């Protein structure tokens, strides 16, 4: 008997330890979760997922098990999760307008939505979102009430827009219009105005992006160096694709020089993708082959998704090239991507599609079959596309 009791205690202890290694999701229905929320005064954290959602699985394996996240969520929330395509999750998804996955809801004991966020994110950002849910100034009912009451302070409007972006785009747009009415040039050229620039500048074509570009010297004196560089880089990255589209070589070269002097592997990847995009869009087939050969043997040699993207991006237009030189190069890039990571649906699908164009039936069928198998982990729409791809490959 002592041995049985000892074993049971050890088992309970292991379960308790496991719970502390991961967000402790309770297997209870929504009504029970609301009851617990009322009794404890805590918010419900609801993970809205689907069985096929890859980012949902990534969050499970890379974020929900991080100690700061585990400690905060297990202490502060009633944690539940629902498959939004099954059982009670279907009604929850309908009531709370869950249309993309993962979606994370923070709800009080009355079922009122207090905060909402979504998509894949790193642990520090996910934890920050949860802390905002527990912060009065970021809670949806508080923000809505203050906005309707006429609060138009810029710092308030920034919070309002930030939160409503994940709630209702029409509400977020009302906030953006209100902010435009109070954020005049005098205000923007101030420390508080910099906070608006950081959040609202999306391209050098919008008002906030243009103002940043026109007043970079000033903002450089008041902003944290890392924040200034992040915003400058963001805007230049956006502008680069316009330079490529319009064939503005001098502007493109200036932008390329900017990214080349940045530190870190991400900047090197940016340079590689810009060069491939220019060669594929503005260069000859020979230039495209030369540049992408250099990249696939160098900085992109282990980057399967980037190689697959370049191949997919230029394979369709390549049929117009003399002797299909560009299409053949896309085949080489896509094949390398598959060799690096054969368990990626996009890699296999891209390679199959290019093999179909080149009439390489054996390779096309093999890749299409692999894509169809991997599609089982994706949406029903992807499964249909994979079925069509396989049918095309077999019909060669």
From the list 295, 291, 268, 269, the residue with the least C-alpha distance to 281 is 291
Distance of alpha carbon 300 from alpha carbon 322, whole angstroms: 26
Decide if 333 contacts 311 (C-beta within 8 A): yes
One domain, residues 70 and 151: no
Say if 382 falls within a structural domain: no
Which CATH number belongs to the domain containing residue 43 in this structure? 3.40.30.10
Q: What is the pLDDT of residue 321?
A: 54
One domain, residues 108 and 156: no
One domain, residues 129 and 8: yes
Decide if 82 contacts 34 (C-beta within 8 A): no
One domain, residues 178 and 218: no
Distance of alpha carbon 213 from alpha carbon 220, whole angstroms: 11
Containing domain of residue 148, as a range? Answer: 138-182
Q: What is the pLDDT of residue 343?
A: 94
Q: What is the pLDDT of residue 1?
A: 55
One domain, residues 123 and 30: yes
Say if 142 falls within a structural domain: yes
One domain, residues 164 and 200: no
How would DSSP label each residue in 104-142? Answer: EEEE-TTS-EEEEEES---HHHHHHHHHHHTSGGG-HHH
Decide if 245 contacts 274 (C-beta within 8 A): no
Q: Which two tokens stand for residue 304?
A: 């399967």
One domain, residues 97 and 178: no
Place of tokens 């694709």: 241
Say if 312 falls within a structural domain: no
- Work out how many domains the chain is built from and give that number: 3
One domain, residues 22 and 99: yes
Q: 3-class DSSP state for residue 83? A: strand
The last residue of a domain, from among 262, 294, 309: 262
Say if 298 falls within a structural domain: no
Say if 152 falls within a structural domain: yes
Cis upstream peptide for 201 (omega within 30°): no
Burial grade of 94 (CB within 10 A; 0-12, 13-18, 19 or more): exposed
The last residue of a domain, from among 225, 242, 262: 262
Q: For 247-396, where are the alpha helices, taking DSSP H only? A: 249-260, 265-281, 285-297, 304-318, 325-340, 345-357, 361-375, 380-394
Strand partners, 117: 104
Distance of alpha carbon 360 from alpha carbon 269, whole angstroms: 31
The last residue of a domain, from among 224, 247, 262: 262
Say if 327 falls within a structural domain: no
One domain, residues 222 and 243: yes
- Scored b (16 or more CB within 10 A) or e, 144-182 reads bebbeeeeeebebbbbbbebbbbbeeebbebbbebbeee
One domain, residues 7 and 127: yes
One domain, residues 225 and 247: yes
Place of tokens 């923070």: 106
Decide if 344 contacts 304 (C-beta within 8 A): yes
From the list 119, 115, 108, 107, the residue with the least C-alpha distance to 135 is 115
Q: Which two tokens stand for residue 70?
A: 């585990």
- What stretch of H or E contains 7? helix 2-19
Low-confidence ranges of the chain (pLDDT < 70): 1-20, 318-323, 379
Distance of alpha carbon 262 from alpha carbon 259, whole angstroms: 5
Q: Are strands 103-107 and 77-83 parallel, antiparallel or unpaired?
A: unpaired
The one-character DSSP state at 101 is: S
One domain, residues 44 and 123: yes
Say if 87 falls within a structural domain: yes
Place of tokens 């390398």: 336
Say if 52 falls within a structural domain: yes
Distance of alpha carbon 205 from alpha carbon 300, whole angstroms: 31
Distance of alpha carbon 167 from alpha carbon 159, whole angstroms: 13
Q: Return phi, psi of residue 303, to 5°.
A: -100, 80
């Amino acid at each position: 008997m002592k041995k049985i009791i000892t074993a049971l205690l050890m088992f309970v202890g292991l379960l308790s330890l496991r719970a502390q290694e991961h967000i402790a999701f309770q297997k209870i229905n929504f009504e029970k979760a609301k009851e617990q929320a009322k009794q404890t005064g805590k918010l419900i954290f609801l993970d809205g997922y689907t069985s096929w959602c890859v980012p949902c699985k990534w969050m499970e394996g890379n974020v929900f098990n991080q100690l700061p996240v585990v400690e905060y969520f297990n202490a502060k929330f009633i944690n539940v999760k629902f498959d939004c395509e099954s059982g009670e999750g279907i009604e929850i998804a309908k009531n709370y307008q869950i249309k993309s996955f993962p979606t994370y809801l923070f709800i009080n004991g009355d079922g009122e939505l207090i905060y909402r966020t979504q998509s894949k994110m790193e642990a520090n950002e996910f934890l920050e979102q949860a802390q905002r849910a527990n912060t009065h100034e970021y809670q949806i009912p508080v923000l809505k009430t203050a906005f309707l009451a006429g609060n138009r302070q810029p710092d308030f409007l920034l919070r309002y827009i930030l939160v409503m972006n994940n709630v209702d785009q029409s509400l977020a747009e009302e906030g953006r219009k209100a902010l435009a009415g109070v954020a005049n040039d005098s205000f923007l050229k101030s420390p508080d105005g910099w906070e608006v620039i950081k959040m609202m500048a999306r391209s050098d074509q919008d008002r906030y992006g243009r103002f940043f570009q026109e007043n970079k010297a000033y903002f450089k004196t008041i902003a944290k160096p890392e924040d200034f560089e992040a915003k400058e880089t963001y805007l230049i990255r956006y502008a680069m694709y316009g330079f490529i589209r319009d064939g503005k070589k001098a502007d493109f070269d200036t932008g390329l020089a900017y990214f080349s002097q940045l530190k870190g592997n991400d900047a090197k990847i940016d340079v590689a993708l810009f060069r491939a995009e220019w060669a594929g869009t503005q260069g000859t087939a020979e230039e495209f082959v030369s540049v992408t050969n250099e990249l696939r043997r160098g900085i992109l040699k282990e980057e399967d998704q980037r190689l697959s993207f370049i191949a997919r991006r230029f394979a369709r237009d390549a049929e117009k090239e003399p002797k299909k030189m560009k299409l053949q190069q896309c085949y080489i890039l896509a094949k390398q991507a598959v060799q690096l990571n054969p368990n990626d649906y996009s890699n296999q699908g891209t390679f199959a599609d290019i093999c179909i164009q080149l009439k390489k039936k054996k390779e096309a069928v093999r890749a299409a079959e692999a894509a169809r198998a991997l599609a089982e982990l994706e949406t029903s729409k992807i499964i249909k596309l994979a079925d069509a791809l396989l049918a095309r490959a077999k019909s060669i």
